[in-house]
Amino acid sequence: VQLVESGGGLVQPGKSLKLSCSASGFTFSSYGMHWIRQAPGKGLDWVAYISSSSGTVYADAVKGRFTISRDNAKNTLYLQLNSLKSEDTAIYYCARAGSYVLWFAYWGQGTLVTVSS
Amino acid sequence: DIQMTQSPSSLPASLGDRVTITCRASQDIGNYLRWFQQKPGKSPRLMIYGATNLAAGVPSRFSGSRSGSDYSLTINSLESEDMAIYYCLQHNEYPLTFGSGTKLEIK
């Protein structure tokens, strides 16, 4: 199992960014996926979840601004970040759901998003 | 939302010590509780699932327990490689919520 995030970078407040999480080593279409973030020097915050059937759930802090999606043909998970705020500055990790035993057993290395003017 | 109150925030300990970290859930979460270890610059690693079950590859000196709404991670005979930040996570309901973390450091 391998998860590789990309798309992070420096972006101005109010702008948008799209993160990707490329998955390999498992049948991506069969698994739900999460995004979790970690502000610099801070703890972990769950951001969003998408089921294998593309049902979605969001944290209140990002609801209406972020959109989680997936492309099973490309084995890729996405997170569209709109109307970015300074408090969205964080490392963004994707993590696999799946069987009860293995929920959150697999994480990517993270991609850093910095929101600053 | 379910609040996970984790304590202590910092835990100085000596090699060979037995240490315990606790998370208290503000609502019933059953056994939908996981523990993670995170080292500097690394992604979190799953240590415990279902409150008491050791994840694959985790040393047996780690254990998880539950007493009512209190969930604990215990490390017996602390080793240098255990120095890290530990987080609990409830996944009984959305939004999923993490504890604030416990930094385990050498005394």
- Using left for φ > 0, alpha for ψ between -120 and 50, and beta otherwise, residue A7 falls in left
Give residue ranges of A with CB < 8 Å to any B CB: 34, 43-46, 49, 57-60, 93, 100-101, 103-105, 107-110
Task: Give chain A's largest Cα–Cα span.
Answer: 43
Contact between residue B72 and residue B21 where contact means Cβ atoms under 8 Å apart:
yes
pLDDT attached to residue B56: 95
Of A48-57, A98-107, B3-12, the range with the lowest mean pLDDT is A98-107
Residues of A in contact with B98 (CB under 8 A): 43-46
In the predicted structure, residue B4 carries a pLDDT above the cut 90: yes
Tokens of A84: 């970015």
Of B38, B55, B97, the CB nearest to A105: B55
Average pLDDT value over all residues in chain B: 97
Determine the residue among A34, A36, A44 to mutate to test chain B binding: the one whose Cβ has the most chain B Cβ atoms within 10 Å: A44
Tokens of B91: 């996944």
pLDDT tens profile B56-101: 999 999 999 999 999 999 999 999 999 999 999 999 999 999 999 9
pLDDT attached to residue A50: 98
pLDDT attached to residue A98: 82
